[in-house]
Amino acid sequence: MKTIGLIGGLSWKATLYYYDYLNELGNRHLGKSHSPHIVVDSLDFERVAQFLRDGDDNALVDYLGHSVQRLLAAGADAVTICCNSAHKVATRLAECTGCALIDIRHEVVADLQSRGICEVLLLGTLFTMEERFYQDVLEAAGIRCRTPDAADRAYINEVIMKQLSVGIVSEESRERFVAIGRKACDSGAQAVLLACTELPLLVGAEHFDVPVVDASLVHARAAFKHAARAGAAK
pLDDT, mean of residues 119-132: 95
Nearest to 228 by CA among 24, 26, 21: 26
**Domain 105-214 classification at class level:** alpha beta
Is the distance from CB of 173 to CB of 163 less than 8 angstroms? yes
The model's pTM is 0.92
pLDDT, mean of residues 146-154: 94
Q: How many CB atoms lie within 10 A of CB 132?
A: 10
Report CA dihedral (67, 98, 22, 136) to the nearest 10 degrees: 100
pLDDT at 112: 97
Average pLDDT, the chain: 93
Give the tens place of pLDDT for each residue, 180-203. 888 888 888 899 999 999 999 999
φ/ψ of 4, rounded to 5, equals -95, 125
In the chain, residues under CATH classification 3.40.50.1860 are: 4-103+217-233, 105-214
> What CA–CA distance (Å, rounded) separates 23 from 67?
22
CATH number belonging to the domain at 4-103+217-233, selected among 3.40.50.1860, 3.40.47.10, 3.40.50.1220, 1.10.760.10:
3.40.50.1860
pLDDT, mean of residues 49-58: 95
